[in-house]
Amino acid sequence: MPLLTGGVIGSRVRAAVAERQQLGFEVETARRAALANAQNAWNQAVAGGEQMAAGQRATEAAESALTGVQRGFAEGFRSNFEVLDSEQRLLTAQLVFVNTTYGAYAAEARLLATLGRLQAAAIDQAVPAYDPARNTRVVRAKTFGPFDPILAPIDRAQKPAGTAPAAPMIAPATDARIRPAAVQALPGPIGNVLPIAPVPVIAGPVAADLSDTVVTSGR
């Protein structure tokens, strides 16, 4: 073992510590980005639902106004222009309501996509649930080749051992409607019921003396 390392050991230790800190920063950045995206998608979904409800109320009010104008026209108190104007107002309100309804459904779909829960059953319950295992078997059956029996043992031998922990199974989404979550409310006027639990922050390494003298024990 050489007596003098020229600072190689200390530089490697400092590089490892810096790399660990960098990875911790990347994890924290990804966590914050995911949280911000989920919060934005949640706020847009809530705002879209409120806009759809407001559009429905505006349409109902325009229908009531048109009914009153038509009755006034039948009694001789309203003119044709007023009837046409009320019909135009109703048409505009219906158009706004349709657009807000589309925006609400699109916002809910974006929220489910952000959470990784967007499935066909969440939009239309009549659509059968997607089974990835069954779809894989169907695709493999369609792409069966003459060399598959020979290559199958090699493929199985190259698969990693099943020692990794299984991923948590999440129940498939069957409804896209927004419901308040029974969790502690987060600050904010709109997104105050977002079902996101706090994630612990990775603690950085403690400060240490990484000089060559300390690392090599004075050698």
Mean pLDDT of 121-149: 74
pTM summary value: 0.54
How does DSSP assign 140-189, residue by residue?
Answer: HHHT--TTHHHHHHHHHHHSPPTTSPPPPP-PPP--------SSPPPSSS
For 140-176, the pLDDT digits (tens) are 777 766 667 676 777 766 666 555 556 566 665 555 5
For 66-79, the pLDDT digits (tens) are 999 999 988 888 88
Residue 26 has pLDDT above 90, yes or no: yes
Q: Identify the weakest region by mean pLDDT among 58-62, 96-100, 128-132.
A: 128-132
